[in-house]
Homo-oligomer: A and B are copies of this chain.
Amino acid sequence: MTLARRLTAETLGTALLLAIVVGSGIMGERLAGGNVAIALLANALATGAGLVVLILMLGPISGAHFNPVVTLACAARGQFGWREVPAYCGVQIVGAFLGVAAAHLMFGEALFSPSQHIRTGWAQWWSEFVASFGLLAVIWGCQRAKAETIAFAVGAYILAAYWFTASTSFANPAVTLARAATDTFAGIRPEDTGAFIVAQLLGAGAATWLFGWLLPLPAINSVDSQ
């Protein structure tokens, strides 16, 4: 796969991911008649199912990271070239904003609008640490599994994490930045994004460090069967 194709796939995948997150959030909130649990149920099911599909359809092209902390963690474990990290992270962020704009157009909103949704404080930051720790734990724990199994596991994890973390599990710096540009259900105040991203990096780092010991890579290469 050429780098151009892989970057196109990362852009497209992250854009569709944000369109799903933001679009289903708007639809859920508009239809739920004020019951936030029903809106979040729709949001979580759409995001979980959508993520499985995006990873299945674009994984063979780009690896389907869609997430700077995933790209960084892969580089840290020697499974992705450091030289390509800036390009991957850059198009993930660009794609994320494109996806927000695509969703806003579908629902008749302005292209971008700064969020006023307050998400701050230790409980939220600890939630993002746990959410990102869990996401990377899933990725490293399933590294021996088939590509389809990893896709399904990541989607099912995010469905659960929307509900068991107090922050509804952003767990992705590109997603966090772009969600600051939507004043809808899924938004986050621009000034709250920094601490979220720090917590995400720490959580992902902790899981990567732990699974470096729990499931060392040499063992994986030698037991490639299943």
Interface SS of chain A: helix, strand, loop or mixed? Answer: helix
Flag the segment in A79-87, A111-119, A133-141, A172-180 that touches B.
Answer: A133-141
B159 close to A45 (CB less than 8 A): yes
A142 close to B56 (CB less than 8 A): yes
A interface, size bucket: 35 or more
A184 to B57, CA, bound (A): 34
Q: Is A35 an interface residue (CB 8 A)?
A: yes
**What's the number of copies of this chain in the assembled complex?**
4
Bitwise interface map of A from 3 to 24 toward B, beta carbon under 8 Å scored 1, else 0: 0010011001000100111111
The distance from the CB of A22 to the nearest CB of chain B, in whole angstroms, is: 8
Q: Is A75 an interface residue (CB 8 A)?
A: no
A160 close to B50 (CB less than 8 A): yes
Q: Is A218 an interface residue (CB 8 A)?
A: no
Q: Is A190 an interface residue (CB 8 A)?
A: no
B164 close to A27 (CB less than 8 A): yes
B164 close to A49 (CB less than 8 A): no
B53 close to A160 (CB less than 8 A): yes
Flag the segment in A65-73, A88-96, A148-156 that touches B.
Answer: A148-156
Q: What would be 5 A-B contacts, judged by CB atoms less than 8 Å apart? A: A42-B44, A50-B164, A52-B156, A56-B153, A57-B137
